[in-house]
Amino acid sequence: MIKKRNLLILFCLFSLSLFGVNDSVLALLPDTFNAGNPDHYIHFSSTLLNNGEYKAAKQLIDEGIEWGENEKNKYLTANLYYYLADYFYFTEKYQRALDLYKQALPDFKAMADTIMTAKALNSIGLIYNFRHDKENALKYYLEEIELLNNASLSSKQLVIEKVVVLINIINQYSNEGQYEKVIETAPEAVDLALSINDSMRLASIYNVLALAYKNLDRFELSMHTFKKAHAIFSNIDDEFRQAFVELNIGGLYEKETQTDSALSYYNNSYKTFKKYNYAYGIVYALSGMATVYHSINVPDKARRFYRTCIDSCRIYNFNQLLLDAYYGLSELEYEQGRYKEAFDTRFLHEVLNDSLNNLEKEKQFAELQTRYETIQKESEINKLKSEKLIKEGELRRNRLLNIIGFSIALILLVVFYILFRFYSQKKKVNSELSEKNRQIEKQMEQLRMLNDNIQRVNEQLKKSQTELKDANMAKNRFFSILAHDLRSPFHNILGEAYLLSNSYKNLTAEERMEYAGDIYKSCDQLNKLLENLLEWTRTQTNGISFNPRLLNLRKVADESLAILEVSRAAKFIHIENELGENINLKADYTMLETIFRNLLNNSIKFTPAGGKITVSSTVAGTTIVVCVEDTGVGIEKNDLDKLFHIDSNLKTKGTNNEMGTGLGLVICMEFIKYHNGDIWAVSTPGKGSKFYFSFPIS
């Protein structure tokens, strides 16, 4: 259990060191951006990426690359290809990121840009490391080290880059169990971190160095180094990372049976993780305290901590820790003579360790094993029979030799006869053995095939589990809509209709007109909701037909605008269609028209009277990006990620209290997926929104 805890803490402490940490992140100031300044493209692209605004960063980078290539500005394009690689890295498209880092690397080398060359080498090494290609990862790390050694380390940035790559190398050595190499490499990283007063990275280096000493059973050095890391995190008031080091120190004291100290450090880390509500750290600390009380034979406290650990593991699905806690508790109960409790806990351990599918697989494997052992036994029996036949032949030959004195002629005849018979029997036995071997090989092949089938079934079950989870979320949202959104307009219709039916004669003409208008609005809202529900249901059940053909983009947009003319005119909104006349793409007409209609209807709904909506497009290679921009109320940043998920339950009334269904953007996303495209939004509250969708074009 202690070993697993060390690995987790090592990973958490070094995640920032691996990627590097910017000292500050500047806010994006659009009014200061100058499209003719290459440094502005580089600066604002980096800022957007650091702020996690990946879609906006991608758009700015693409525009900058196009401008830089037109201006033949190698400096700008090399830097923007690097940040484009960062974009794909952050969005977990690692192969694309790797290709772009390698594309930018020669340009940085040609420009003798040491910093960017080092960053590119480090990024390439990281991707290979994540792919478990340790050889290539180390190759690029060492190339970066050689580059930085040959450079003059006069600037702080160069020193930081060298510290980062040394930490990556140390971390790789540690993960591979090469602890002596960790100890050999760490001093240089320590000296460099001290030279620039980089306390955070210095503490991280001490932590992994201490783990190396621990794994080599050098406990005194390990404790001394852990406490160095602990002191640094304490000085910079980093309680969270300090708690990780305290877990490691607690584990070391537990190893050396210094139980009071171990409990003190475990308890301190537990309080810190409780403060930050970090579940994994809480459970590890509980587990550590349980094992210490177990080791010093304080059963009541050990039992209490084990059970608290078990309850937390169940809540957060920490299955490996839950297995360890079940095992420890069962051992404790057994030692205390509580055999029923020990049996029950061990039973829970086994149930968790073997799911129903695994039990079935184990049963099948047992059957296969039995068959295999039967075949082996048959082979051994045949072998014994063969040996018996050989021995019988030898006995017959000895008998013939004993009667050789009767007659040479008779002996020769008998010998020839025995030899001939022996040869025939041996040949027959060998043939039978060969056949049995072939049968054994066939059975083994069947065993391998059955095992492959079991693995495929397990993979299908995992995939089905994920699909069922997604379907359950969609089902909950679907029933929510049916339960709430259908009921509300029906109540309005029933209420207004009841008043008209029972008080018709007592109502004025204006009141009757008002009630009739309200009923119409409710029916119209209900009709839109049912249409959207029908379209979404068809996308989820593969009930929709997909018939792509060559379409004119502007023509489809104009036809969608015509459908919404009444809504537009009612709010005096000005719409500009800036789509080119000659933009053609292969798409399903109904789906493309529905996408335009939903996006334009949303813009009309959330744009005040007298506002403006613009429809435009840009083409990048074989992809067209369409933008529907409005001057509406905008969308809060926290709500942007919820727009395209059916389970988000995000619905907002329009500027004239127009009601929505919450399904329009979800349907747009489903239709765009049919075309291998993408959809996203950028918005500033109070200034308007931009909805983008991309399609591949011929």
Given pLDDT bands bounded at 50, 70 and 90, which one contains residue 25? very low
Q: Which residue in 172, 181, 78 sits closest to 128, CA to CA?
A: 172
Distance of alpha carbon 421 from alpha carbon 237, whole angstroms: 93
Q: Which residue in 383, 378, 354, 382 sits closest to 366, CA to CA?
A: 354
Q: Which two tokens stand for residue 683?
A: 């918005």
Write phi, then psi, for 596 (nearest 5 degrees): -60, -45
Q: Which residue in 575, 584, 627 sits closest to 604, CA to CA?
A: 575
Q: Are 265 and 246 in contact (CB under 8 A)?
A: yes
Instruction: Tell me which of 451 and 32 has the higher pLDDT.
Output: 451
Q: Roughly what angle, to the nearest 10 degrees, separates helices 179-195 and 199-215? A: 160
Chain mean pLDDT for the chain: 79
Q: Is residue 371 helix, strand or coil? A: helix
pLDDT tens, residue by residue, 163-181: 898 999 998 888 888 999 9
CB neighbour burial string for 32-57, b if at least 16 within 10 angstroms, e if fewer: eeeeeebeebbbbbbbbbbeebbbbb
pLDDT tens, residue by residue, 484-506: 555 556 656 777 787 777 877 77
CA distances from 467 to 192, 448, 471, 649 (A): 50, 29, 6, 20
Q: Are 205 and 190 in contact (CB under 8 A)?
A: yes
Q: Are 119 and 86 in contact (CB under 8 A)?
A: no
Which spans in 236-355 are helix H?
239-255, 259-276, 279-295, 299-316, 319-335, 339-353
A 10 A CB-CB count for 621 gives: 8
DSSP 8-class letter at 484: I
Which of 244-248, 369-373, 467-471 tops mean pLDDT? 244-248
Instruction: Tell me which of 675 and 414 has the higher pLDDT.
Output: 675
Distance of alpha carbon 690 from alpha carbon 628, whole angstroms: 6
pLDDT tens, residue by residue, 125-146: 888 888 888 889 889 988 888 8
Q: Which two tokens stand for residue 578?
A: 């800036």
Which of 19-23, 249-253, 613-617 tops mean pLDDT? 613-617
CATH architecture of 545-696: 2-Layer Sandwich (3.30)
Angle 375-380-386 (CA atoms, 0-180°, nearest 5)?
125
Q: Are 664 and 531 in contact (CB under 8 A)?
A: no
Given pLDDT bands bounded at 50, 70 and 90, which one contains residue 6? very low
Q: Are 210 and 225 in contact (CB under 8 A)?
A: yes
Q: Which two tokens stand for residue 256?
A: 């050396």
Instruction: Tell me which of 668 and 35 has the higher pLDDT.
Output: 668
pLDDT tens, residue by residue, 212-259: 998 898 989 988 988 898 998 889 888 888 898 888 998 888 888 888
Q: Which residue in 532, 523, 578 sits closest to 553, CA to CA?
A: 578
Residues contacting residue 341 through CB under 8 Å, at least 6 positions apart: 333
**Which numeric CATH code is attached to 256-262+275-349?**
1.25.40.10
Given pLDDT bands bounded at 50, 70 and 90, which one contains residue 643? confident
The lowest-confidence range among 293-297, 388-392, 421-425 is 388-392
Q: Which two tokens stand for residue 245?
A: 């080091």
Angle 211-209-193 (CA atoms, 0-180°, nearest 5)?
145
Instruction: Tell me which of 95 and 649 has the higher pLDDT.
Output: 95
Q: Are 256 and 247 in contact (CB under 8 A)?
A: no
Q: Is the pLDDT of residue 555 over 90?
A: yes
Q: Is residue 283 helix, strand or coil? A: helix
The pLDDT value given to residue 26: 34
The pLDDT value given to residue 34: 61
pLDDT (mean) for 511-528: 72
Q: Roughly what angle, to the nearest 10 degrees, separates helices 219-235 and 199-215? A: 160
Given pLDDT bands bounded at 50, 70 and 90, which one contains residue 475? low
Distance of alpha carbon 267 from alpha carbon 255, whole angstroms: 16
CA distances from 596 to 233, 553, 555, 605 (A): 54, 10, 11, 14
Q: Is residue 361 helix, strand or coil? A: helix
The lowest-confidence range among 337-351, 575-589, 598-612, 649-663 is 649-663
Q: Is the pLDDT of residue 682 over 90?
A: yes
Q: In what order do the strands lie in the sheet with 574-577?
A: 574-577, 612-620, 623-630, 688-696, 678-684
The pLDDT value given to residue 388: 63
Given pLDDT bands bounded at 50, 70 and 90, which one contains residue 392? low
Q: Which two tokens stand for residue 135?
A: 């050889």
Q: Which residue in 305, 304, 310 sits closest to 322, CA to CA?
A: 310
Given pLDDT bands bounded at 50, 70 and 90, which one contains residue 27? very low
What's the burial of 20, exposed, middle or buried (CB within 10 Å: 0-12/13-18/19+)?
middle
Q: Which residue in 88, 84, 72 sits closest to 42, CA to CA?
A: 84
Distance of alpha carbon 652 from alpha carbon 656, whole angstroms: 11
The pLDDT value given to residue 352: 77
Given pLDDT bands bounded at 50, 70 and 90, which one contains residue 32? low
Q: Is residue 571 helix, strand or coil? A: coil
Q: Is the pLDDT of residue 379 over 60?
A: no
Long-range contacts of 281-286 (CB under 8 A, 24+ apart): 281/243, 281/244, 281/247, 282/312, 283/309, 283/312, 283/313, 283/316, 283/318, 283/321, 284/5, 284/8, 284/247, 284/321, 285/247, 285/250, 286/312
By residue count, the chain amounts to 698
DSSP notation for 200-260 = HHHHHHHHHHHHHHHHTT-HHHHHHHHHHHHHHHHHTT-HHHHHHHHHHHHHHHHHTT-HH
What are the residue ranges spanned by the domains of the chain?
Answer: 256-262+275-349, 356-465, 486-544, 545-696
Q: Across the strands, what pairs with 626?
A: 617, 693
The pLDDT value given to residue 3: 35
CA-based torsion, 471, 477, 480, 482: positive or negative: negative
pLDDT (mean) for 55-73: 87
Q: Which residue in 457, 432, 455, 337 sits closest to 382, CA to CA?
A: 432
